[in-house]
Amino acid sequence: MTSVETKYEHIIIREDGQAIIEGTGMKVLQLVSEKIAYGWSPEEFHYQHPSLSLGQIHSALAYYWDHYEELNQQLKEQIERIDELRRASQSSPLIKRLKSMGYYQ
């Protein structure tokens, strides 16, 4: 898969349009979702993801704030897709069987 460099030292854009931290495969959007969910500081991100440098984390967060609307829209679309998949899975034979056995709510 090819990628495009950005003006952010550690951030590249993959062919599919996803911003990732170069050399890690971690999406900037993953860090954004953790930032929103947990309110982590860069130091806490580093503690939770020790393979990332503070420079990589700060670069990803800078990319997020500079592309706020775009990344929030991507996050919204991902959440909608997850909800859609979750609704579709509720009617699967496995889920129905697990519910009938009391293992799934």
Q: What φ, ψ does residue 95 adopt, rounded to 5°?
A: -65, -45
- State the Cα–Cα distance between residues 91 and 94, nearest whole angstrom: 8
Element (H, E) at 20: strand 19-21
Question: Closest Cα to residue 22, out of 47, 44, 1, 46?
Answer: 1
- Give the global pTM: 0.76
Domains in the chain: ranges and CATH? 3-100 (1.10.10.10)
Express each pLDDT in 9-66 by its tens digit. 999 999 988 999 999 989 999 999 999 999 999 999 999 999 999 999 999 999 999 9
pLDDT above 90: residue 100: no
**What single-letter DSSP state applies at residue 51?**
T
